Amino acid sequence: MTSPFDSLGDTSTLTGVVLGAVVATAGSFAASWYERRLFRREREADAALVFAELLNTLCLHIQVLRAAHSRGDPFGPITIRMTRAVRREVEIYDRNRERLFVVRDSALRPQASALMARLTFAIERVLDSTDSLAAQPSPDERADLESGRALAFEFLVECADELPAMAQRFAALAGTRLTGLDLEAIGFGAPGEAADS
């Protein structure tokens, strides 16, 4: 004959098993949610660091380009080479653009894309005008090309002024600090300054 205490023991065992399963399932969901959230934050910080460094390096290249433009022939061979170097930096951004979608800041993403598109337009206009001028155009065409190239360079410099603040915004998302952009400190001072020091 079964005792009423036996069924009470079975019920408490069953309740313990069910309760344990519920706690284990909830713990598993919580761990998975936390792990996904942590992974997403790590991916965002990694992507933000890449863009912060890319934009910071682009700032540096454009500073060197400005320095080359301000000495001698404004659109001489060194300026054009530096413009091509700036374009290569923009191409690195283009190759990493898919990572931009990991960044959750919905205002920063389109601002970065729009700025890089404007920079690309200006760079291409400077280089295309230079190539067209090398083909010995007529005097009227030459004047138009030179004017267009000068305007494109001004636009490039104007757009570049937005880069440091944007690089800092990406750096803040990555939880890092960017180094300053002192040309003299990295060896891009005026030619006579290095010899004097």
**Domain range holding 111?**
44-189
CATH number at residue 175: 1.20.120
Cα 90 from Cα 120, distance rounded (Å): 7
Lookup: tokens for 110: 């389109």
Q: What is the residue-averaged pLDDT of the chain?
A: 84
Cα 61 from Cα 83, distance rounded (Å): 9
pLDDT digits (tens, 9 = 90+) for 174-184: 998 887 666 67
Total-model pTM: 0.73
The closest alpha carbon to 149, from 72, 79, 56, 54, belongs to: 79
pLDDT of amino acid 75? 94
Task: Give percent above pLDDT 70 in the chain.
Answer: 79
How many domains does one find in the chain?
1
The closest alpha carbon to 119, from 58, 43, 188, 41, belongs to: 58
Cα 156 from Cα 165, distance rounded (Å): 16
